[in-house]
Structures are given as C-alpha cells and as structure tokens.
A and B are shown apart, each in its own frame.
Chain A
Amino acid sequence: MSRAALLVLADGRFPAGGHAHSGGAEAAVKAGRVSGAGSLEEFCRGRLHTAGLVAASLAAGAVLGLDPVELDGAADARTPSPALRTAARRLGRQLMRAARATWPSAELDALAREFPKGAHQPVVLGLAARAAGLGAEDAAYCAVYESVSGPASATVRLLSLDPFDATGVLARLAPDLDRVAHQAVEAARCALVNGVDALPAASAPLLEISAEVHAAWPVRLFAS
C-alpha cells in the first residue's frame, strides 16, 4: 500500500463534493448547540462515535470484500433520516466520479452501474480505497476523519470561528479518531464472518432530526 495514496484520498481538497456539506453543523449552529470551539468539539465527538463509527465500518467492510450492494442496504438501514440518505447518496455519486477518474477500477465501474444516482458515500469510499491500493484501516481513517473535519471547516465559515481553534479541536480528537477507526475495522472483520448485520448501528437522533429540519430551510449555506 502507498501512504501517499492515503493522503490523496483523505485530502479535504479531493474533489468529491464535501465542501457543500456541514455534517449537521449548520443546523447545530442555528439551534445554538454549537457556539464556539468547546461545543464544536463535543458535537464532533458525538458525531464521530455515532455516524463516524458506522461510516468507517461500512468503508472498512467494502475494502475487506463485503458485498457493496449489501453494505449499501446496511447503510440505508442505519440512516433513518431521508434527507441524510439523499445526502449520503449524492456524496457517494460525487466521490464515485472523482474516484473513477483518479483510480480506474472495474469494481467502481460495477457499483456505478448498479447505483447510477449514487450508492452511500462510505461504501464508495471503501471501494475507492481498494482501487487506490489502500487497506481497511486506511478507509476507516478517512471516514472517521471526514466525520469531524467537515463540521469543523463548516463551523469556521458559519461562526467565523478562529481557524486555529477549529484545527485544535481536530488535533485534540486524534486519540478518539484512532480508537474509533480501530473499532470500525474490528467490526468489519466480524461482519466478514457474521454478515453485515454485525456492523455497528450507533445513531445520533438529534443529527437525524435536525437534518430533516435543515433540509426544509429556504435559506442555508450548506446542502446538509
């Protein structure tokens, strides 16, 4: 595996559409639940241990060779909010385009054919990592990092938060990111034996509910 390929895939500038999404931060800011670096850190920790863990285990599972169509169904089952399912598929479609152009692969082509309007983003992420010659742990790391870096950069724009403070939040979360990535890979290995139902199903009800509310706003900066 190439460590540099991991940096390419994990780069926030990788052109896969993430810049237009806040990971729930816009709704949380509006509701007053995120108002500075401290509350951003708590928000990110909560998202990491729920949506981040689930995404990372799906991505790791895809790298390990679990059936991507089954994984996509598992992702649907773990995403109660229709708005979040739509956002995940849209981001999956965007990542698919970038990944196929970057690391051409028959597996990615097959998944694009199966889901022309987009599979869940973590499943595409796993296959993209596979196409890039990366391992399950790498894909899990990408997923957990994305689960917190998206809200952090969105909050810089939403609150005019000091960018150094936002980056400090990410640095302080690093040990948690390590733990959750590890946990996600273990769960994916377990699912190889016991099926996709064994994958984590941690949920953050407030993220799901506020995503529905956010999707109905007439004026917003971010798509989700």
Chain B
Amino acid sequence: MHLDHNHTHDGPPAVSADAHRPDGRRRALRIGLGGPVGSGKTATVAALCKALRDELSLAVVTNDIYTREDAEFLLREAVLPPERITAVETGACPHTAIRDDISANLEAVEDLEDEIGPLDLILVESGGDNLTATFSKGLVDAQIFVIDVAGGDDIPRKGGPGVTTADLLVVNKTDLAPHVGSDLGRMAADAKAQRAELPVVFQSLRAEGGVKDVAEWVRGQLAAWVA
C-alpha cells in the first residue's frame, strides 16, 4: 500500500480528492449515500456498519440538516465506536455540503483518517434532500441513492440525477409495498429504463441480512479501489 514515497509526513494537507494522503498511504474509499428524507439512509448506513465492521476498518460522516439526530442514532445503536462517527453542519443546505462546497465534508473525512489511523472505507451520509441531490466527485468515489417504496412508486420513472446517475440505486422498505400500493415490478422496469446497466437493489431491512446485496456491492467497490 505504501506506493508513493515522494510525499513526506510534514507536507501540507491534501487539497482535493487525491487518492493518496500526504504521508503517501492510499486513503480510504469514500462512498456517499443520498436520497429523500425518510427513505432509510441512516438505517442502511447502520446495517452496513454492522455487516462490514468485522472485516473492514470503517467510519461514518453524517450531514444532519439541523440536528445531530442521525449521528446520535448511529451512536445509540452502537454500530461503531463513537470516535468513528462525525457530524457535519450544513447551514440548511444539505446538497451544498455534498456537491457545491464540499470543504467541511473533506475535512471531516481527513480528520477521521488522521485521528483513527488507516481506514478502508468512509460512508458519507447526506442530509435528507430532493431527487436532484448528488455527491461531488471531489468528495466521494461512488454514490448510493436510497429511495423507498412508500415515497411513491413513480419516483424511478421521474428520474432526476440521483435516480439516473447514482452508482447504485437502492429501493428500500420493499416489505411496505403491499400496504402502500406500490408496484415493485413497475419500479424495477422504470429504474431499468432510466439507468440502463447501472445496478439497482431492492431491500427490506426488516429481514435478517436485509442489507447483504448492498454490502456485497460495497465490497466490490472496495476491491476495485485497492486493486
């Protein structure tokens, strides 16, 4: 992993999304999770942490809109030790903090790596936003967009940058589909039409191991990152 010895330990901190840290080590893979309010981003992050924490060194950055609720939920659930969870304040504009002005989030991920030591993976969870919110490539290496069946089964058809371009689309709360009259087949067909070959996962976190498909996708991203 120590590929580049031209960097020195006392060099100034990195400027942007360089793949290596100032000390020459490869930095952690950063995966963003975005999506509308209440779609299950935090629950997915919690489930991913539980599924991956024994095999990977990982940390989480949350972007709460006006509280520390998401960070505190993760702390309460004890999915990771507290020093591995950081909250960024976004000044009422969650999409700005992950797309237009990413400096506070970059600092949070860099500080986690400085303070905890080498990390394999950092999950950056966006504040709940709208269908146009996407992560800057300067902040994350890949992004997951989380929607749910109860938010309306027409969301995949409506498209928008999150649904259309995210590296992984997660349709959450499939267990609710019969109760809210959502047609999963139609959602899958619409998502396929919008996304062509980009992957889609349907999940319910109510079931044991509900996050396994997303966890498997994350493992694949990580394998490509360190290759």
Chain A residues with CB under 8 Å of chain B are 13, 15-22, 90, 93-94, 97-98, 100-101, 109, 112-113, 116, 154, 157, 218-223
Contacts and interface: CB of A to CB of B under 8 A. Distances in A.
B103 A98 contact: yes
Contacts of B100: 13, 15, 19
B94 to A, nearest CB: 10
A93 B106 CA distance: 11
12 contacts: A15-B101, A17-B104, A18-B101, A90-B104, A97-B106, A109-B12, A112-B13, A113-B10, A116-B13, A220-B66, A223-B89, A223-B91
Interface string B13-51: 101100000000000000000000000000000000000
A222 B92 contact: yes
Contacts of A90: 104, 107
Interface string B87-129: 0011111001100111110110000000000000000000000
B91 A19 contact: yes
Interface residues of B, number: 24
Nearest to A118: B107
Given A94-B107, A112-B12, A116-B13, A21 B91 contact: yes
Contact of A20 (B10, B12, B67, B90): B90
A219 B66 contact: yes
Chain B contact residues: helix, strand, loop or mixed: loop
B12 A97 contact: no
Contact of B16 (A13, A17, A20, A101): A101
A15 B102 contact: yes
Given A19-B96, A218-B68, A222-B89, 17 more contacts: A13-B100, A15-B101, A16-B101, A16-B103, A19-B93, A19-B97, A20-B93, A97-B107, A98-B103, A101-B16, A109-B12, A218-B67, A220-B66, A220-B89, A221-B66, A221-B92, A222-B92
B11 interface: yes
A97 B91 contact: no
Contacts of A101: 15-16
A113 B91 contact: no
Nearest to A97: B103
Contact of B11 (A94, A98, A113): A113
A221 B107 contact: no
A45 B16 CA distance: 36
Contact of B97 (A16, A20, A100): A20
A42 B65 CA distance: 28
B101 A17 contact: yes
B103 A15 contact: yes
A20 B91 contact: yes
B112 to A, nearest CB: 14
B72 to A, nearest CB: 10
A221 B68 CA distance: 11
A90 B104 CA distance: 8
A125 to B, nearest CB: 14
A19 B90 CA distance: 8
A17 B67 contact: no
